[in-house]
Structure 1
């Protein structure tokens, strides 16, 4: 297999290489692999701290009434953040900003930034005030199963009043991050979520003991984190000369274009998040602990999705937008092909490892304090179900920008509606026999439908065209994943054994197991001819 011709991913889709020193040529943009690595590294730091945060929350609050109430109060603004700020808004704003950069001057860019800041901020402020006033109604809508449980419903409603302003703060943070990403300043926005995790960890450890209702400390931690994240990015915008001076101007041509693109994108970009929220709604009717089991398993599946899938998507959207603005169809297709291969290279082994290591991973991270062995077993069921859709979740993240970069938001929304309806059907079919795990499996199945339809649409419009080398790449991937599975199954041992270990023993055993799997996977990739240069692209 090593003798097969190499795929042409090492070539630059721009057709240019780095300028020689002293040549006077403009400095090229950083390579996509390097930029994805920077974002992935920062995101990895954030996700590791996120796991630490969840370990702290699990240790102090377990999976009982208070934890269920907080996860609902946190999930509502967090869901809207992903749907609106990091979803529809970013996907609409970045292509428009990129076109202004390509076709206009810095004065026009500043006017756009100021108009968007003022218009966006006013809408978000209004939504936040209304949501805080109507928090019981929102709780009833998003967790109807809590209505008959007075204590749980009251806690969730009270915490929602504190957590909902996070949407305002984090949406403005996403706006600032989108500007930085458009100018290839990827590290700062990728590092910013670290502050959320640090704030929540501090709230759980030091603020909770001071409060009459300890779980309320987590809600205040979320609010504080939103403010920290926004103010952290402002100096970097100032350095670019793009610190906004908000001006409400809905007549601005760029604002109108963004609003036009956002309306359908609200569904198209974040269907997976809508599906996860539907899981929470239905899980609120199941036995106590179901919401928490889904939360802990979702958090683990989000680790590879955030570190690699979202990292690649973050990097390619500005690149695809610029290529579309400059009418570089071949480079556009080559970039999408690169993104799909990169997702498969990381996503397939990550999904396989999560499925095979569900109980040991959950025991290592969350099996302490108030968390019971039954909680771990139940969370493992939903983790395996989520892992079945991990590759699909990642593909959605990199395929959807293929539409948004071309300012086509209608096609993804049509596909998103189909996937959302399918998810509800799958939920109804699977919730009775599989309970909370059925909800997770339904989300995975609908993600595959979503990803498949996105891929078919891009291929039909010739926005994505298969580059040479796919059969060889897939065979190499199959060999490496086979080696990974063999090593894990050989070393993991029975799940019950992990529950008898101390925390340090679990951590050391898991580190050794993961290390052995990573070495086996990449060693086999190297043996069959995969090289880093195959994935270098500017």
Structure 2
């Protein structure tokens, strides 16, 4: 199978799995908020993810994205599979040792850490957050295992098992969480998170073994591959730690606002992450092994063309996604969540977060591609340095905007910082690899932006008129309103981009159908 087909097929698999996983994620939130409402109980549940997620991100998230896949793929490309497995085993052993220490300390000092992270919580909410956090620590072990497994499988160009694992993760939270919550309350969903993490890893294990997994009980940190990973990963550890600190600051400030706004921000960010996860991350993950292979071979011509193609594709998809979310913010949140104990006030609070978060969708989508571009050439320092600068900027904006805009200011600050991060990455990369089709990227971006703005205005006007014609108090009419808005938006955007003769329209349609012929990929690259 030619490289274009491989990337397209991988992107198609990841997009579908991401979409299913996100749909299940929203169904999970619907179940939780309908049962408990958007209040301090769900604030506690959302805050309980903070410390376990922090451990996972600094131990595995950075390792996989920045160092492990390029090094592991390099060994495979050079027919040194045995050394690849040795490096993977040493990395696994070291991370698990660090994880044991981290979880032990986390369990002991959970009450102290929670009081620092969410000082605005009352005693009852704080105690609940401590209990839920301690339950969720168990998921960290399995998430680390699955995280390393994903890195190995992706290096072998295998994407199906990780895709299925992410679906099982959310499905387990819904089913196990709902059943246990009938007796144990919100804690049932925390147990569901642990079970979901176990299933996520379990589905990947057979595929790892099928690839000829060779485990070595070794902590030889002087292994050349491990040394390279350590050199590459140290800056990312710092960067991810600072990024998590930024999220903690957001949570810290939001906890001082009225009850339910921590949950509103988290829900808003999940909706904002939908197009990023389904499209941008799917394309970035699929293209990453290709970029690493081109870098390992020194083929910088195709490396630049692939980077340009990735950026143009994600901008083409995520700009209209952002415009659609902004236009449909209230109808969408109302349709998805407003039931049971999720009130109209909660809908408006969440819709505000969605609107301001959506302004940064294109930026965080582009960052997914550009970070991996730097990682592929084994440069982790640049994204980290830029990330630290933008995170400091984000924190300053948070403090400046929360007073006048409340939780909306926190979401807006996040979006502005993302746009600044993207701009700096693009500028630095231009000088680092001597250009990568910046003119074609800018032209494509402006066309997509124009089409997205027209689409967003059209959708907003039509759905507003729809509300004057029908009673939207029923879920049927609410769903119909969202569906009409989405369909009209897609049609308008498609027509405008067709009239503008954008090649990205055909490329993206083929990617979504998982039938991108090599000739289309080549055409897209040639048009760079």
**Structure 2 residue 37 is matched with structure 1 residue 38:** no
Counterpart of 1:408 in structure 2 is: 379
Which of these residues, 480, 484, 489, is aligned with residue 517 of structure 1?
489
Which of these residues, 502, 525, 536, is aligned with residue 474 of structure 2?
502
Counterpart of 1:196 in structure 2 is: 169
Residues 76, 142 of structure 1: 8 Å contact kept: no
**Structure 2 residue 277 is matched with structure 1 residue 306:** yes
Where does 1:342-381 land on structure 2 (aligned, <5 Å)?
A: 342-381=313-352
Residues 90, 174 of structure 1: 8 Å contact kept: no
Residues 398, 410 of structure 2: 8 Å contact kept: yes
Counterpart of 2:511 in structure 1 is: none
How far did residue 502 of structure 1 move? 1.2
Aligned length: 509
Counterpart of 1:65 in structure 2 is: 40
Counterpart of 2:521 in structure 1 is: 537
Q: Distance in 2 between matches of 1:517 and 1:131?
A: 47
Mark the CA change 1:194 to 1:163 in structure 2 (over 3 Å): closer, same or farther: same
Residues 268, 409 of structure 1: 8 Å contact kept: no
Which range moves more in the overlay, 74-83 or 104-113?
A: 74-83
Greater percentage in helix? 2
Which range moves more in the overlay, 465-474 or 279-288?
A: 465-474
How far did residue 165 of structure 1 move? 2.3
Residues 272, 447 of structure 1: 8 Å contact kept: no
Which range moves more in the overlay, 183-192 or 460-469?
A: 460-469
Counterpart of 1:95 in structure 2 is: 70
How far did residue 349 of structure 1 move? 0.4
Question: Under a length normalisation based on structure 1, what TM-score does the superposition of the two structures give?
Answer: 0.89
Question: Under a length normalisation based on structure 2, what TM-score does the superposition of the two structures give?
Answer: 0.91
Residues 163, 222 of structure 1: 8 Å contact kept: yes
Q: Distance in 2 between matches of 1:159 and 1:474?
A: 43
What is the CA deviation profile of residues 154-210 of structure 1, one whole-angstrom value per residue up to 9, with x for unaligned ones? 000111111022222112111100111111112221332112211111133211112
Residues 316, 445 of structure 2: 8 Å contact kept: no
Q: Distance in 1 between matches of 2:344 and 2:335?
A: 12
Counterpart of 1:180 in structure 2 is: 153
Q: Distance in 2 between matches of 1:243 and 1:511?
A: 50
How far did residue 367 of structure 1 move? 0.7
Mark the CA change 1:470 to 1:450 in structure 2 (over 3 Å): closer, same or farther: closer
How far did residue 327 of structure 1 move? 0.6
How far did residue 479 of structure 1 move? 4.9
Q: What RMSD, in angstroms, separates the aligned Cα atoms of the two structures?
A: 2.3
Mark the CA change 1:280 to 1:261 in structure 2 (over 3 Å): closer, same or farther: same
Counterpart of 1:21 in structure 2 is: none
Which range moves more in the overlay, 128-137 or 474-483?
A: 474-483
Residues 401, 410 of structure 2: 8 Å contact kept: yes
Q: Distance in 1 between matches of 2:158 and 2:189?
A: 31
Q: Distance in 1 between matches of 2:54 and 2:434?
A: 30
Counterpart of 2:515 in structure 1 is: none
Q: Report the secondary structure of 1:407's partner residue.
A: coil
What is the CA deviation profile of residues 442-494 of structure 1, one whole-angstrom value per residue up to 9, with x for unaligned ones? 11111111111111110111264216745653454245324422430232117
Counterpart of 2:291 in structure 1 is: 320
Mark the CA change 1:59 to 1:288 in structure 2 (over 3 Å): closer, same or farther: same
Where does 1:99-178 land on structure 2 (aligned, <5 Å)?
A: 99-146=74-121, 149-178=122-151
Moved over 6 A (4+): 494-499
Counterpart of 2:179 in structure 1 is: 206
Q: Report the secondary structure of 2:256's partner residue.
A: coil
Which of these residues, 344, 362, 368, is aligned with residue 397 of structure 1?
368
Mark the CA change 1:466 to 1:29 in structure 2 (over 3 Å): closer, same or farther: closer
Mark the CA change 1:307 to 1:277 in structure 2 (over 3 Å): closer, same or farther: farther
Mark the CA change 1:484 to 1:60 in structure 2 (over 3 Å): closer, same or farther: same
Mark the CA change 1:102 to 1:203 in structure 2 (over 3 Å): closer, same or farther: same
Q: Report the secondary structure of 1:124's partner residue.
A: helix
Mark the CA change 1:494 to 1:267 in structure 2 (over 3 Å): closer, same or farther: farther
Q: Distance in 2 between matches of 1:432 and 1:481?
A: 31
**Structure 2 residue 307 is matched with structure 1 residue 332:** no
Mark the CA change 1:467 to 1:282 in structure 2 (over 3 Å): closer, same or farther: closer
Q: Distance in 1 between matches of 2:471 and 2:374?
A: 47
Mark the CA change 1:468 to 1:261 in structure 2 (over 3 Å): closer, same or farther: same
